[in-house]
Chain A
């Protein structure tokens, strides 16, 4: 019986010593297996040398490095859609702390206006429920669309 399926591993040095010895003994007396092994050796050599002679196109590494850098920029700028509003809130907070007495007055004023607005809104909602509902939904849609377009704008700028 010819150990043909072992010849490939024999050639690659992947057999245990006992198995190697067995194949060596067989090869001594079997011209057909010797011939197959020689073909494998030739095939492996030719295949490797052909593949090793293939090199990447000129300027390939620069194109890859540029593509990676572009991807990196996109990733980083893409995060700005969250960062910009957060920065605005933080700046507002800082200004508020810096001008604390004025901010108190402002907040009091805002509270009064807020209460008045709330009262007016509650009356308006009670009087015109359909109109208020539609207005509320439209406001929400407008808000979401603004956030999404800001995000897209920042991403396209990155590219």
Chain B
């Protein structure tokens, strides 16, 4: 749901108003950055990606048909861009597995616990990572995820289940170490 004020800001930004777009950046920076970080597992890369996502969004904002779908539209751009970066990374390292970067300093929660869950996330497949982030972090419903990713709702359900099973398996193994 989008409130009226946000709707007006999006409308102004669509007409090329940079100040309005800055407001959108301020409102959405956290969740775009978190998504990029969750997908890429590296703060530096996530910052670059988030910047690219916003530039892409600014340039493509005229094509947004429904301002009420802004969040999912932005996340679709974010997801696609992160997947492209991961593909590029895989090409560069010429390996089937995603590399596991050292997770840089983070603050707030117990660092040991953070390392575990983030390390576990980095070991998941890209699709599993994406669906967990979209549901558990961004808070999208199954129907919205189906629309955003272009997969059937049944696949969303089964993919989320297998993503959780994989995360549980990896996390438990790491906790045991």
Contact = CB atoms under 8 A, between A and B. Distances in A.
Contacts of A54: 33-34, 37, 106
B47 A9 contact: no
A64 B33 CA distance: 11
A60 B44 CA distance: 11
Interface stretch (B65-73, B82-90, B94-102, B132-140): B132-140
A89 interface: no
B136 A9 contact: no
B168 to A, nearest CB: 6
Chain A at the B interface: mostly helix, strand, loop or mixed?
helix
B11 interface: no
Contact of A56 (B29, B114, B137, B164): B29
Q: How large is the interface on A (under 10, 10 to 19, 20 to 34, 35 or more residues)?
A: 20 to 34
A56 B33 contact: yes
A60 B54 CA distance: 12
A47 B38 CA distance: 11
A152 B138 CA distance: 42
B43 A68 contact: no
Interface string A63-94: 11101110110010000000000000000000
A73 B136 CA distance: 38
A8 B161 contact: yes
A26 B148 CA distance: 33
| Residue in A9, A56, A57 whose Cβ sees the most chain B Cβ within 10 Å | A56
A9 B168 contact: no
A96 B164 CA distance: 76
B34 A51 contact: yes
B55 A68 contact: yes
A21 interface: no
B168 A57 contact: no
A51 B133 contact: yes
B25 A65 contact: yes
A47 B117 contact: yes
A51 B43 CA distance: 13
B141 interface: yes
B43 A57 contact: yes
B22 to A, nearest CB: 5
Contacts of B142: 9, 12, 14
Contact of A60 (B18, B29, B118): B29
A48 B121 CA distance: 12
Contacts of A60: 29, 33, 47, 50
Q: Give the top 6 A-B pairs by smallest Cβ distance, nearest first.
A: A53-B108, A8-B161, A56-B33, A51-B137, A65-B22, A50-B117
